[in-house]
Amino acid sequence: MSSSLTLLGWLLALLQALLYLALAPLLVGWVRLVKARLQGRRGPSPLQPYRDLRKLFNKDTRVAHTASPLFIIAPYLVLVATWLAAATVPLLALELPTAVIADLIVLAGLLALGRVFLALAGMDVGTAFGGFGASREMLVSALAEPAMLMAAFTLAMTAHSTNLSSVMATHLAEGLVVRPSYLFAFAALVLVAIAETGRLPVDNPATHLELTMTHEAMLLEYSGRHLALMEWAAQLKLLLYAVLIANVFVPWGIATTLTLGALLLALVAILTKLVLLGAALGLAETLFAKLRLFRVPNLLNLALLLGLLGLLSHVILEVGA
């Protein structure tokens, strides 16, 4: 462990964090392209989210008269909290210093921090849309967080550690083992990820100005640079969950040694996984319709139940006496 806390380790960790920032819009663009093709449209290029971000950064930033300073610092806080959370999830290599000093519970905490400021910013200006967006976001996340922690504990019990990089290392060392608890934890995490990143059965990411929106409702008052930061944070969150799911359940390919060859292989591996996962997300969003808001708790209860079953099946079926 101590060998990883070197200068090289920190440099790689920084590189990995920057890679998260750089890749996040691409994943969103890829999902949109897949969706457009499946719906019979040509769709914009996958680079379109980058152009949108550039356009927003160049625009003037307007702030409502009623806004408090919190409204202005919230975008920066949300982006930084999400970015820090992303930095704790191993993207290319295990045992980087950022992954060693933070575990799954820190990850959940950082995401919660970002969410609190997002909701506060939504309520700050005092418009009705921002208020209901914030209340819905809190409803969803209050139900999703226990399910996420259940899934995290299931993983932690197998690896005897809540540290993500040890979880992945244990899984790598074991080889292919069909664990029922992993299957349940996977299903629970997928449901939580869908709810937390505001994807289709829970929230429609492609709609504005509808009474069904959740995430967009909180951003209605933002413009220019602030809006760009908020959007970027949301894209980063999607990438974070995608990498979490891909690298925890299918860790093969991730670099265990810090050599150039291993890192390049890891980059190719994670890009392949993300392409597949993004295509699956696009397909799922084409197939499913949006759930009514009052049905969302049922979906998240299912996620919690799956997480609990994962824990129980680990204790009952995998440990034994």
Query: Which residues of the shown chain bind other proteins in the complex (CB under 8 A)?
Result: 174-181, 183-184, 301, 305-306, 308-309, 312-313, 315-321
Q: Pick the closer one to other proteins by CB: 180 or 224.
A: 180
- Backbone φ, ψ for residue 255 (5° rounding): -75, 130
Residue-wise DSSP of 167-226: HHHHHHHH-S---HHHHHHHHHHHHHHHHHTT-TTT--TT--S-TT-SHHHHHTT--HHH
- Backbone φ, ψ for residue 77 (5° rounding): -65, -45
Residues 6+ apart with CB under 8 A from 166: 159, 160
Instruction: Report in angstroms how near the CB of residue 115 gets to other proteins at its nearest.
Output: 24
Q: Pick the closer one to other proteins by CB: 190 or 233.
A: 190
* Residue among 147, 132, 150, 148 at smallest CA distance from 293: 132
Q: Pick the closer one to other proteins by CB: 248 or 309.
A: 309
Instruction: Report in angstroms how near the CB of residue 314 gets to other proteins at its nearest.
Output: 9
Instruction: Report in angstroms how near the CB of residue 315 gets to other proteins at its nearest.
Output: 7
Q: Which residue has the tokens 């295990």?
A: 94
Instruction: Report in angstroms how near the CB of residue 177 gets to other proteins at its nearest.
Output: 5
For residue 160, give both structure tokens. Answer: 């005897």
Q: Pick the closer one to other proteins by CB: 257 or 298.
A: 298
Instruction: Report in angstroms how near the CB of residue 299 gets to other proteins at its nearest.
Output: 12
Q: Pick the closer one to other proteins by CB: 172 or 267.
A: 172
Q: Pick the closer one to other proteins by CB: 7 or 178.
A: 178
Q: Which amino acid is at 232?
A: W
Instruction: Report in angstroms how near the CB of residue 267 gets to other proteins at its nearest.
Output: 29
Q: How far apart are CA 92 and CA 243, in angstroms?
A: 10
